[in-house]
Amino acid sequence: MSVKTHPIPEDRFMDYVAELNRIRDGVDLPHAACCAFLLGSGARIGEALTVRIRDVFAPDGTPKERVTRNVEKARADRRITVTFPWQYLGGPIVAWHGWITRHRAAGPEDFLFSLRWSGGPISRFSLHRGNRRLLDRLGIPWRGVGLHGLRKTILRRILADQIREGRSWIEAMRYCQQFVGHDRLDTTIRYLVDDMPTDNPDMMRRIFGAQYQQTAQSTDEG
């Protein structure tokens, strides 16, 4: 039986971020760098593992303010560019980029998150195992969090921030939808359903009404 993916507990989020930034060398560096990218960009695992150096770093080696990634499961090939929070999550990524540049002479077209001299991307199993070590050291139960839990973690924090900024639930969810690259709003809703207040029938009708309106438009256009 599969385990439902869930985000990192709210009260442990900054502990996890601090642990990522603590790692600047050693065997856990590539895993910490990739997890930091997952958390800061909202990428799926496969999207992060296929990011190339040119998508994240300028030709002179400086980090780009806005990073670019492919979008999986889209109807057509497309890419998303988002502002990356380098001041909070950039430490391990910059350290890892420096390591592969020095030791592998990695170029702009190489994968950023690679453990092989051949240039192939890091394996998902290796990344899962590395993230599990990070969570274990912090005493955070790793079962159920996994790597997709990082995507849920940042998405729910973005939702809360948008609400604090005064946006409606629909506006906030559409912002989240664009950030992570979901084709459909109902996919984003499934991510955020646990954070929705259910004691406001009018709000719920607006939320799901927007979902069904989008579905109807997609059907008509098809």
pLDDT in tens, 8-46: 888 898 999 999 999 999 989 999 999 999 999 988 888
Q: How many domains does the chain have?
A: 2
Residue span of the structural domain in which 201 resides: 151-221
The first and second tokens of residue 26, run together, are 């050693």
Of the residues 89, 116, 143, which one is the last residue of a structural domain?
143
pLDDT digits (tens, 9 = 90+) for 106-144: 899 999 998 766 667 788 898 999 999 999 999 988 777
Do 18 and 106 belong to one domain? yes
The answer to whether the predicted template modeling score (pTM) of the entire model surpasses 0.95 is: no
Do 46 and 123 belong to one domain? yes
CA 183 to each of CA 5, 42, 72, 106, 187: distance values in angstroms, whole numbers, following the listed order: 20, 14, 10, 33, 8
